[in-house]
Amino acid sequence: MKYLATFLVMFVVYLFLAGFTLDEVILGSIVSAALTLILVKFVDFRIDWKFPWKLVKFVFVYLPLFIWKLIVANFDVARRVLTPKIPLNPGIVKVKTNLKGDFGKLTLANSITLTPGTLSIDVEDDYIYVHTVDVKGQNEEENRKNISEPFEKVLGGIFK
Partner 1 sequence: MTIASYVFLIIGGLFFLLGGLGVLRMPDTFNRIQAGTKATTLGAFSTLIGVGLGNLDWAFKIVLIIVFIVISNPIGSSAIAKATYKSKQIPDNLVQDELANRGDAK
Residue closer to partner 1, measured from CB, 43 or 92:
92
CA distance 147 to 115: 8
Query: What is the nearest approach in angstroms of partner 1 to the Cβ of residue 68?
Result: 12
Residue 48 phi/psi, 5-degree rounding, is: -115, -175
Query: What is the nearest approach in angstroms of partner 1 to the Cβ of residue 149?
Result: 18
Query: What is the nearest approach in angstroms of partner 1 to the Cβ of residue 67?
Result: 8
Query: What is the nearest approach in angstroms of partner 1 to the Cβ of residue 52?
Result: 19
Residue closer to partner 1, measured from CB, 1 or 78:
78
- Distance in angstroms between the alpha carbons of the first and the last residue of the chain: 19
What residues line the site for partner 1 (CB under 8 A)?
Answer: 13, 15-17, 70-71, 73-74, 77-78, 80-81, 86, 88-94, 106, 109-110, 113-114, 117-122, 124, 129, 131, 133, 135
Residue closer to partner 1, measured from CB, 97 or 118:
118
Residue closer to partner 1, measured from CB, 15 or 25:
15
CA distance 67 to 79: 19
CA distance 118 to 147: 8
CA distance 54 to 159: 8
Give the orientation angle of helix 2-18 with respect to helix 22-39, to 10 degrees: 140
